[in-house]
Structure 1
Amino acid sequence: MDTKKLFDLTGKTAIVTGGAGGIGQACCEMLAAFGANVVVSDYNLEAAKETSQSINDNGGKSIAIDCNVLEDEALVNLVDKTIEHFGSIEILVNNVGGGGAGKESPYDIEVAQFKKVFDMNVFSMWRLCQLVAPHMGKAGYGSIINMSSMASINKSPAISAYASSKAAINHMTRNLAFDYGPNNIRVNAIGPGATRTAALSTVLTPELEKAMLKHTPINRLGEAEDIAGAVLYFAAPISSWTSGQVIFINGGGEQTLDM
């Protein structure tokens, strides 16, 4: 067994949406470290360029492409530019997401706000899967990793749009695995627990963190690199017979906003 090949991504191209910061940035850096050409996709182009430049400065290969996943033409452009620059697409990390954080009380949220969460978290992911699949089939290698959440299985107040959209991602992932499997394309999802990001910092207090850790056997919150490690597993040849799975990276426990 040549163990070096199990995680070798040399020559493979990965698109990471929301790649300029947080979990997305950690995924970009992790995939690049194992040899992938990385497309840092983000609506904040300047931040995406900084992440991409950092990868290049450290010996990797990366470009930045601005992309608002709510706009179909932007998704098409993202795929077209990736092919134009690198010639193939083997890995897609559907990382962009929005909503949640206890801000979705059914007494206050409007229908348009609820719909936008699904547009961002579900419909954009499905569309990107549709766009990259032909290129993955041509390449003979495909791994799609959708970013779900512990919210997809937890129950908490004021998070019905986000949580239900993430639950939809879980089941969409399992079904797309059947659709794309015959073309050697794997589709899996990752459900992060409470992970230290800029988004979490807007609601995290010392009291909330302490309460979360009461229910977390590995007694710390997650770091972006913890999630990126799972992305690497799904992206790499080591998981070549793994598809239709949802793995929760959560320290062995549950962290919700109402603990």
Structure 2
Amino acid sequence: MILDRFRLTDQVAVVTGAGRGIGAATALALAEAGADVVLAARTRDQLDTVAERIGETGRKAHVVATDLAEPANAAALADAAVETFGRLDVVVNNVGGTLPCPLADTSTEFLEEAFRFNVSTAHALTRAAVPAILRAGAGSIVNISSVMGRVSGRGFLAYGTAKGALAHYTRLAAADLAPRIRVNAVAVGSVATSALEVVVNNPELKQRMEAATPLRRIGEPEDVAATILYLCSRAGGYVTGKVLEVDGGQQAPNLELGLPDLA
């Protein structure tokens, strides 16, 4: 059956930023498809809640509460997967993000921190995971990029630059790691996570954002999780080096920050 291609029976996945939002939804989706999951983020109680939900699916979860802004901590997750579950098949580099900031206020240090958190952390885990995935036979890596990595809007210089770099990193890594390890990315649009809480809880802002999105709604974490499952599983087995856009059809920012012209 075609649905069997979406199964990850007895595989092992690492998901970063797994305590809430897209990461939590993804970890649960992979578990429902048959995988055991290493969950990593800073906040243990959030991870414990996700782990409990994974347990209800009949799969196992291993919680690692760590600061993923430090690439070495991300790299250590590959060994944690092997030590806990004996193998590693799937990596989802979900952790990332950067606050909006006008160019004039974006210091070189701020830009470098954005790159480190969104790209260097993903590279550290990817590089550490490669030997383990090869020992398992083959596998898949999925990076979470953003619509702001391909469209322009004021205030997103650091974030958009980092996510654009992560998108091209995905293409380059896919070339290096083919044919046994597939590497893809998901460019995410506006999704109802904690990062968008201010908008979701403001009816006027929410309506403006929805009206500027072709599908006329804000995305749900499960919209992204379903795409990640496709890319991780045999269903996406002939896909590598691609950036799938899960953004409701956006071709431009759907909520401007209102930053003025320079005086």
Query: For 1:202, what is the secondary structure of its paired residue?
Result: helix
Task: State whether residues 27 and 228 of structure 1, in contact with CA within 8 Å, keep that contact through their aligned partners in structure 2.
Answer: yes
With over 3 angstroms needed to count, the CA separation of the structure-2 counterparts of 1:72 and 1:211, relative to structure 1, is closer
Q: Distance in 1 between matches of 2:9 and 2:63?
A: 19
Give the 5 Å matches for 1:64-83: 64-83=63-82
Task: State whether residues 16 and 94 of structure 1, in contact with CA within 8 Å, keep that contact through their aligned partners in structure 2.
Answer: yes
Q: Which residue of 2 aligns with 1:258?
A: 256
The reply on whether 1:217 has 2:214 as its aligned counterpart is yes
Shift of residue 107, structure 1, vs aligned partner: 1.9
With over 3 angstroms needed to count, the CA separation of the structure-2 counterparts of 1:72 and 1:154, relative to structure 1, is closer
Q: Which residue of 1 aligns with 2:25?
A: 26
Query: For 1:196, what is the secondary structure of its paired residue?
Result: coil
- Give CA-to-partner distance per residue, 1:144-165, whole Å, 9 cap, x none: 0000000011111111000000
Query: For 1:93, what is the secondary structure of its paired residue?
Result: strand
Counterpart of 1:69 in structure 2: which amino acid?
L
Name the TM-score, length of structure 2 as normaliser. 0.92
Q: Which moved more, 1:226-235 or 1:244-253?
A: 244-253
Residue of 173, 185, 196 corresponding to 2:192: 196
Q: Which residue of 2 aligns with 1:133?
A: 130
Shift of residue 81, structure 1, vs aligned partner: 1.5
Q: Which residue of 2 aligns with 1:118?
A: 115
Q: Distance in 2 between matches of 1:192 and 1:75?
A: 21
- Give CA-to-partner distance per residue, 1:98-133, whole Å, 9 cap, x none: 214xx2112223322221111100111111110101
- Give CA-to-partner distance per residue, 1:180-239, whole Å, 9 cap, x none: 003x10000001111001111135533332222233232211000000000000011111
Give the 5 Å matches for 1:65-214: 65-100=64-99, 103-182=100-179, 184-204=180-200, 205-214=202-211
Q: Report the number of matched residues.
A: 255
Q: Distance in 2 between matches of 1:147 and 1:7?
A: 20
Q: Distance in 1 between matches of 2:103 and 2:213?
A: 29
Q: Distance in 2 between matches of 1:76 and 1:148?
A: 19
**Which consecutive unaligned segments of at least 5 residues does structure 1 have?**
none
Q: Distance in 2 between matches of 1:253 and 1:117?
A: 23
With over 3 angstroms needed to count, the CA separation of the structure-2 counterparts of 1:241 and 1:88, relative to structure 1, is same
Q: Which residue of 2 aligns with 1:44?
A: 43
- The percentage of counterpart residues that share the same residue type is 33
Counterpart of 2:127 in structure 1: which amino acid?
Q
Q: Distance in 2 between matches of 1:76 and 1:118?
A: 16
Task: State whether residues 105 and 157 of structure 1, in contact with CA within 8 Å, keep that contact through their aligned partners in structure 2.
Answer: yes
Counterpart of 1:257 in structure 2: which amino acid?
L
Name the TM-score, length of structure 1 as normaliser. 0.93
Task: State whether residues 67 and 78 of structure 1, in contact with CA within 8 Å, keep that contact through their aligned partners in structure 2.
Answer: no
Query: For 1:189, what is the secondary structure of its paired residue?
Result: strand
Query: For 1:130, what is the secondary structure of its paired residue?
Result: helix
Q: Distance in 1 between matches of 2:158 and 2:233?
A: 32
Counterpart of 2:131 in structure 1: which amino acid?
P
Q: Distance in 2 between matches of 1:258 and 1:228?
A: 26
Query: For 1:64, what is the secondary structure of its paired residue?
Result: strand
The reply on whether 1:232 has 2:232 as its aligned counterpart is no
Q: Which residue of 1 aligns with 2:58?
A: 59
- Give CA-to-partner distance per residue, 1:46-81, whole Å, 9 cap, x none: 211221122113322211112322224322332212
